[in-house]
Structure 1
Amino acid sequence: MKDLLKHINQCDICKAHLPLGPRPVVTAHPESKIVIIGQAPGTKVHASGVPWDDQSGKKLRQWLNVTDEDFYDTKKFAIIPMGFCYPGKGKTGDLPPRPECAPQWHKQLLSKMPNVKMVLLIGAYAQKYYLKGKAKKTLTETVGEYKSYLPMYFPIPHPSPTNRFWRAKNPWFEELIVPELQKKVNIVLTNSL
């Protein structure tokens, strides 16, 4: 795993497309229990090199009901975004994750984590990539049907502040699904101690 992560940290396959240059942000450990697959780092995370080191990360940790210490314990959580580097700014937010990362690195990383019990699919890019034809037409439908992807996959929306309108329109997510997510995360982490 160390060699693979070192190789990833030196990756520059999409260098020409990255406005701030390559800075892969990914964490994993052979003992990781839960894998978080989000979109791609934003500018703050690009600057710090710490995954989910922003408002989105605070909200995600609330949803998971975990401390920062647990969240950044790689034996508990691996963090493998769809795109490892900041992709640049688009009209309504960051550009989509670069398409090179997931096919290049995900399978290699996951093959070195035999103890994974759950994969959190955050946002439509991760959901479409991993659920393939089983993803529903919309993220809302996919998230609403989360039980059909268990026990391995748990699809959720992105916790970004820019996604607050979705959360306002869909209060059922935080009322009904977040408690189920917290239960599942707690069971996985507790049973693996």
Structure 2
Amino acid sequence: MNPGLDQLNFDELVRRVRACTICAESLDHEPRPVIQLSESSRILVVGQAPGRRVHETGLPFNDPSGDRLRDWMGVTRDTFYDEQLLAILPMGFCYPGTGKSGDLPPRPECAPAWRQLLLDRLTNIELTLVIGQYAQAWHLEAPSSTVTENVKRWQEFWPTVVPLPHPSPRNNRWLRNNPWFESEVVPALRTEIQRLLGAAVC
């Protein structure tokens, strides 16, 4: 953590994050941190890292994964992209590139440099959605060794934190093998989000 950054006002801190290039030497493309947040945000979505399409558009979850996530949440695109309501802070802010079996893991530089500084400013968050193993390792108290086990334990963290599987189409098999997720967790999640955001989700 860089000294003095905790003294910056919120807008300047966010500007610094969006201009960050600490992972530049490890990427084969220009860094482009993709985040969404406001001091008034009430829901925090924590993913892994932006994919290629998000990197190109600069809009978080602007892909089929985002479509499924919004469906799970029961919110419109307008609500999802309203930073006054919803913050989005992936574990890695920049697209990490692609490996042999899909996107690479989030870059490790992001979290120690920026994460706690930003989380400390989000004092109105009432619900945090943690998607995938890297997000769950950071945000869950005593996380299990697998995403599946974490999601099965969702009621232990309820109602302030909800562990989720990744909404990627690549996870269709997991959803077929775990039908309890969409029959038990998703309805409860939608109800809680409706309670928090009220008419804004309509």
Q: TM range, normalised to the smaller chain?
A: over 0.9
3-state SS of 2:175 partner: helix
Unmatched 5+ stretches in structure 2: 1-9
TM-superposition CA deviations, 1:38-97 (whole Å, max 9, x none): 000011000000000000000000000000010000111000000000101111110000
CA deviations over 1:88-134 (Å, ceiling 9, x no partner)? 111111000011112211211111121110111011110011125x1
SS at match of 1:135: coil
Aligned residue pairs: how many?
A: 192
Partners of 1:176 and 1:151 lie apart in 2 by 14
Instruction: Within 5 Å, give how 1:8-157 maps onto structure 2.
Output: 8-132=17-141, 134-157=142-165
TM-score (norm 1): 0.95
- The one-letter amino acid paired with 1:183 is T
C-alpha distance after superposition, 1:135-170 (max 9, x if no partner): 112111110111111232110001001111111111
The residue that corresponds to 1:179 in the other structure is 187
Indicate conservation of the 8 Å contact 1:64/1:185, yes or no.
Answer: yes
Q: 1:162 to 1:192 in 2, by over 3 A?
A: closer
* Structure 1 position 191, deviation (Å): 9.4
For the residue of structure 2 that corresponds to 1:120, the secondary structure is: strand
Q: Distance in 1 between matches of 2:146 and 2:49?
A: 20
The alignment partner of 2:140 has SS state of: helix
Contact preservation (8 Å) 2:34, 2:60: yes
Mean CA deviation greater in 168-177 or 43-52: 168-177
The residue matched to 1:36 in structure 2 has which SS? strand
Instruction: Structure 1: give runs of 5+ residues left out of the alignment.
Output: none
Residue aligned with 1:13, SS: coil
TM-score for the superposition, normalised by structure 2:
0.91
- The 2-side partners of 1:180 and 1:188 are apart by 12
